[in-house]
Chain A
Amino acid sequence: MSDNEQAIIEATALTMRYPGGVTALSDLTLSVEPGITGLVGANGAGKSTLIKILLGLLTPTQGRVRVLGLDARTQGERIRGRVGYMPEHDCLPDDVTATEFVTHLGRMTGLPPTAAKEQAAEALRHVGLHEERYRQIGTFSTGMKQRVKLAQALVGDPGLLLLDEPTNGLDPAGRDAMLALIQRIGTEFGIAVVVASHLLSEIERICDHLVAVEGGRLLRAASLVSMTRALPWLAVEVDEGTARLSAHLASTGLTVREQGRGLLVRVDEETVFDAVRDAVADLDLPLTRLEHRRHHVEELFADLEPEQGEPMEAQL
């Protein structure tokens, strides 16, 4: 492969079987390039196991992994010095200030004392906690805590960030802010980011590449454009006159499908929203639901055969 040198993560035929006989990963081969990569999969799909292997904390049963050009089997310590990891679960003490906490973890990453202080201040500034950095973490909101978790991963200028469900527990506004932040880190800061999530709808907004895993196997890996081309659908539900609306919309050149009691209208361009609104108004129908579809990965991949050509279409 020509882009071998610049691959951030290179996994070949990776298999992980736990002593109990559970196979978490089987024959997973993938390559992650610089930029933001979404790692999607339902709970239990093997995301966490993959992250642990990438950090050199678990030794795979079979296969090779290279992270930042280092072998995860033998050079885990060096990898962990250059990779920032943001765990899914709460991991913050509440009785220390954000600065102290991030500084300490900067030291644990290998920064000398003064550099750790400077880098901690920088990291907290980048995540937008500059003003609050001397406050105790216990007084922070969920969104701010999530930012502290990101800051501790960011401290020490990692070559790769592994973010495990970074939007967990956030409200929509906090979610948007977190995603914008991750996007900024991936683009402006030039740090490779892997975002593990079970919410495809979130990841699709910021990722350049997408890796979907299920049952420990690679479902699909592609650049986001090719993968989510067919994704945006608008769900419309009316109390009566579904057939009339469907015909009306189809006559204006929109792609319409029936699903359950409602309709799915493909959003090819921004004007589709207006067209649907006008159609409902013109026909004077009682509108009960108008929703931009958000897909959970479980839903998307529920009964999907990996070999199938256009899974997204087929599912919808």
Chain B
Amino acid sequence: MSTSAPTSVIHDIGYKPYTGPRQGHGQIVRGLYVHSLRSVFGFGRGAKAKVVPFAVLAIMLFPAILNVYTASKGESLVMPYSLMAYRLFLFSVVFVAVAAPELVSRDLRHHTLPLYFSRPLRRSDYPLAKLLALISALLIVQLLPILVTYLGQAASATSGHQIWLDSRDAFPGVFVGVLYAVLFSTVSLLLASSTGRRVIATGVIAILFLVTTAISSVLQNAVGTTYQEHVTACVEPTVPKNNPGPRAFPVGEGDGPPVALVGRLCPGVDLRNGADIGGRLDPDKPGYADLTVHYETPVYSNVAKVGGMTNPVTIIEGTRIWVFHATDSDMPDPSPLGPAYAAELAVLALAAGGGLFLRYRKVSVS
């Protein structure tokens, strides 16, 4: 026997049966949900997979950061809560057009589904986890700007009442964000689950949203809108109150006061579609001016109102207008079709979601 100890030993560890805990069905579904949510934002993938989701998030946050800035200056918001999702809907489309194929088309393309369904997952678990993951991801994208704006407003608020008012303003934004998350997720996942080719899935999703946007835009604006002219006269001080400085605007020397000022001074005047403002000094009231404002307001026909039902984005916006009696929108008030918009939204989301579950019920395993 040798007396010197061996310098190294090779261990063949061999096979060790696993004796630890095994998770139940619910925890497995949760695991798939978390994995899917991470993959939407490119975690666990290369750097390339993170570009689009984080670019979209940054763009969505940009107006919110401006809002925080203006709030700190005591000025009104650059982009109100309720219009954030609508004005930036294009980026939500980009987000789902990339995320939905990442979630479902990959597994179709690589035929990974048999590996899932030969495990304890049930047929409905897979689409459920994927759908919840995309809804959650889109909620993050929609609600983070609202949260940032809200926190900025709250930080600049001088009273509790102001925070309450701001909360009331923010609520429609949250509501709309949820609608976007649900409708965009169900529709885009259903489309993506029809093909294993990601490029095609992305294209189909983008085309669906953009083409219907174009259709509804044509129906609402070009076909369905006529303009009605209005003339309004109002009397306003030529110098700001409490500020005996230079005149706020020249009178009799051109086209009258700046548009922004008229909007604030003459209540009820809608200047969004262009206006012609004239003014002269009031002969009877020194220091005041008589303003004559010509402006136009759009009159929407039924074509415009129905046209809004052709596109997911305007369906959500119309529903918002109906639910909150909103007047700040860029699109025609759907009244009296408001309930129809809401119903269509519900039917669309349910049909797309149901279609998604049906699609995975018949998936073959071999």
Contact = CB atoms under 8 A, between A and B. Distances in A.
B115 A152 contact: yes
Interface stretch (A29-37, A104-112, A231-239): A104-112
A166 to B, nearest CB: 14
A91 interface: yes
Contacts of B115: 85, 87, 91, 105, 108, 152
Given A57-B118, A110-B23, A91 B110 contact: yes
Interface in B97-120: 106-107, 110-112, 114-120
Interface string B23-56: 1110110011001000000001110000000000
Contact residues on B (Cβ < 8 Å of other chain), bracket: 35 or more
B11 interface: no
A142 to B, nearest CB: 15
Contacts of A104: 35
Contacts of B245: none
Contacts of A111: 18, 20, 22-23
A238 B106 CA distance: 55
B246 interface: no
Interface in A77-135: 77-78, 80-81, 83, 85, 87-96, 100, 104-105, 107-113, 115, 119, 122, 126
Interface residues of A, number: 42
A202 interface: no
A126 B15 contact: yes
Contacts of B21: 112, 115
Contacts of A119: 18
Contacts of A92: 110, 112
A157 interface: yes
A305 interface: no
B14 interface: yes
A81 B119 contact: yes
B106 A93 contact: yes
Interface in B114-139: 114-122
Nearest to B14: A188
B116 A108 contact: yes
Contact of B22 (A81, A87, A93, A95): A81
A190 to B, nearest CB: 8
A52 B114 CA distance: 10
A235 to B, nearest CB: 35
A40 to B, nearest CB: 18
A110 B20 contact: no
B31 to A, nearest CB: 4
Given A77-B25, A110-B23, A48 B112 contact: no
A126 B14 CA distance: 8
A107 B110 contact: no
Contacts of A157: 17-18
Contacts of B35: 104, 107
Contacts of B27: 110
A213 interface: no
B306 to A, nearest CB: 43
B366 interface: yes
Interface string A240-271: 00000000000000000000000000000000
Contacts of A55: 118, 365
A108 B112 contact: no
Contact of B120 (A81, A112, A152, A190): A81
Contacts of A57: 117-118, 365
A108 B18 contact: no
B122 to A, nearest CB: 7
Nearest to A164: B366
B44 A110 contact: no
Contacts of B366: 48, 51-52, 87-89, 164
B122 A77 contact: yes
A189 B46 contact: no
Contacts of B18: 111, 115, 119, 156-157
A108 B20 contact: no
A56 to B, nearest CB: 9
Contacts of B110: 90-94
Contacts of B161: none
14 contacts: A55-B365, A77-B25, A80-B118, A81-B120, A89-B366, A90-B111, A107-B32, A107-B35, A110-B120, A111-B20, A112-B21, A113-B31, A189-B15, A190-B17
Given A85-B114, A95-B45, A95-B46, 11 more contacts: A57-B117, A77-B120, A78-B120, A80-B118, A81-B120, A87-B118, A90-B111, A91-B111, A94-B110, A111-B20, A111-B23
Interface of B: 14-18, 20-25, 27-28, 31-32, 35, 44-46, 106-107, 110-112, 114-122, 365-366
Q: Which 9 A-B pairs have the closest CB atoms?
A: A157-B18, A85-B118, A189-B15, A93-B110, A110-B22, A107-B31, A110-B23, A81-B120, A91-B111
